[in-house]
Homo-oligomer: A and B are copies of this chain.
Amino acid sequence: LSLAFITSPLDRAAEIRNSSNRLNELAAVGASCCVAVLGDQVQTEAGQVFIQRGAIAAGSVFLGLDENKTAWFARPAVETSELTGLRDLMLAGDADAGLLSILAQARSMVGWHATHGFCAKCGAATDMADAGYRRHCAGCGADHFPRTDPVVIMAVVEGDAMLLGRQAAWKPGMYSALAGFMEPGETIEQAVAREVREEAGVVVHDACYVACQPWPFPSSLMIGMVAKAASRDLKIDHSEIEDARWFSKTEIRQMLERTHPDNLYAAHPYAIAHRIISAALEEIESAG
């Protein structure tokens, strides 16, 4: 298992999006592919991702061209079809990493249309344009574009200890990096400091970028950071998180490897939390 959703084989070929002729041609090609999603669920057939070939329905979202120049599209699934959660497909570990990345794009795009059929500016119904990358309001003329919501997620280090937290809804024993949505008018580094202070009462400095991951539930961009804390004093906001705790480097290693004596464990390797906790642990170990 490794970081999910970051290995799309598709060239998004944005130059095609405006050409209905070209899109109609591609939709008719027998080899063209279409996946179907409904909320966080993907249409499957006997548990495998269902890929419709050729004769793609008009109004499908154009995702891009793969290495063989095969076109990929996405459309809403019908409720009566066989559906499997995208998270379950990811966890099962047998879906192709490239296909999972395509499904991430599909889920975010189809979900955006499903929840943005009306103009936020005037309330009128809007129409899909640019092969799915725009919605236009004929009423007031406004154009609307898909959302990507940046989220900061951070491992916090003080000396040889690391701060992780958990939400009440998580399975018992799981701890992960603190995280939160960015707000208008702040930098990534400011958002890291704000979230850690809000949730755990800890003041951080020197936040460094590690890696990022699209997280299609529904349409986040997880920005993975490692930050340093000035002290280990905690003041947990229990309305936001159930717990936050400083762990020793030995415990963190055990939690990543799932050998902790109390059955505590860290986020799965498919999630960026695992990557940044690993990066922060390496930093601690190389420093000490």
Residues of A within 8 A of B (CB): 5-6, 8, 12, 14-15, 101, 104-109, 112, 115-125, 133, 142, 144-150, 181-190, 194, 198, 209, 211-214, 216, 219, 221, 223, 237
B contact residues around A6 at 8 Å (CB) = 187, 190
Distance between Cα atoms of A187 and B212 in the complex (Å): 6
Q: How far is the CA of A30 from the CA of B209 in the complex (A)?
A: 41
Compute how far the CA of A14 lies from the CA of B8 in the bound complex, rounded to whole angstroms: 37
Contact between A118 and B120, CB atoms less than 8 A apart: yes
Alpha-carbon distance A150/B223, docked complex (angstroms): 11
Cβ-defined contact, A118 with B123, below 8 A: yes
Number of copies: 2
The complex places the Cα of A181 from the Cα of B190 at a distance, in Å, of 21
Residues of chain B within 8 A of A12, CB atoms compared: 183, 186, 194
A-B contact pairs, 12 of them (CB 8 A): A6-B190, A117-B120, A118-B118, A118-B120, A118-B123, A119-B120, A119-B123, A123-B124, A148-B182, A148-B184, A187-B221, A188-B221
Smallest CB–CB gap between A99 and chain B, Å?
13
**Which residues on the B side are within 8 Å of A211 (C-beta)?**
187
Contact B216–A185 (Cβ < 8 Å): yes
Query: Which among A145, A150, A221, A237 has the highest number of chain B CB atoms within 10 Å?
Result: A221
Chain B residues with CB under 8 A of A142: 115
Docked complex Cα distance between A117 and B122 (Å)? 7
Distance, CA A194 to CA B189, complexed state (A): 25
Shortest Cβ distance from residue A241 to the other chain B in the assembled complex, whole angstroms = 14
Besides A115-B121, A123-B123, A185-B214, 19 more A-B contacts (Cβ < 8 Å) are A5-B185, A6-B187, A8-B190, A14-B198, A15-B237, A101-B185, A105-B183, A105-B185, A107-B185, A109-B185, A118-B118, A118-B120, A118-B123, A119-B120, A123-B125, A146-B184, A182-B221, A184-B214, A187-B212
- Once A212-B188, A221-B188 are accepted as A-B contacts, the answer to whether A181 and B145 lie under 8 Å apart by CB is yes
A104-B212 in contact (CB<8A): no
Q: Which residues of B contact A190 (CB under 8 A)?
A: 6, 8
A106's nearest neighbour on chain B, judged by CB, is B185
Out of B109, B181, B184, which one reaches A219, CB within 8 Å? Answer: B184
Point out the residues of chain B lying under 8 angstroms from A116, CB to CB.
120-121
Q: Which residues of B contact A101 (CB under 8 A)?
A: 185
Taking CB atoms, residues of chain B closer than 8 Å to A181 are: 145
Contacts of A115 in B (CB 8 A): 120-121, 142
Q: Shortest 4 CB-CB distances between A and B: which pairs?
A: A105-B185, A108-B184, A118-B123, A209-B209
Cβ-closest chain B residue relative to A218: B184
Determine if A186 and B118 form an interchain contact, defined as CB atoms under 8 angstroms apart.
no
Residues of B contacting A219 in the complex (Cβ-Cβ under 8 angstroms):
184
Contact A186 B105 (CB under 8 A): yes
